[in-house]
Amino acid sequence: MTTVHIQDPPPAPCQCGTWLQHWRNFSVLPLPIHCQETSCRERPELGAVVKSSDRKDSDCFVVPLCKRHSQAKTGMEISSFSMLVSADVTQNCQREK
């Protein structure tokens, strides 16, 4: 499990429309049934931009969370099975093909 903090403010939204759609577009997994906060059983409604407190770099990632957890301003535990998608849109949705 990786402790992450909600990036405040999140980076500007990308051309995918929403961060949840961004996650769907670049994840190799289907949308999880539950919010990716380890103890939550709500359905994910939003893609939240997060930053790992375990990493030394400043990379931001998108993870599917429920509405309550996507608005959290404190750290939380994210499932170790979560698929983190880069929020750096220059590395995925804005990359030239």
Domain-wise residue ranges, the chain? 2-88
Question: How many CB atoms lie under 10 A from the CB of residue 41?
Answer: 9
**Candidate from 6-10, 59-63, 84-88, 89-93 with smallest mean pLDDT:** 6-10
Q: What is the pLDDT of residues 11-37, one digit of tens each?
A: 666 788 889 999 999 999 999 999 999
The 3-state DSSP class for residue 29 equals coil
The pair of structure tokens assigned to 81 is 């099975």
| This prediction's pTM | 0.84
Distances in whole angstroms, Cα of residue 80 to Cα of each of 10, 12, 16, 83, 84: 22, 26, 26, 9, 10
Q: Which are the contacts of 81, defined by CB distance < 8 A and separation ≥ 6?
A: none
Q: Is the pLDDT at 50 greater than 80, yes or no? A: yes
Give me the phi and psi of 68, to 5 degrees please.
Answer: -60, -50
Alpha helix stretches (DSSP H) within 1-97: 19-26, 67-70
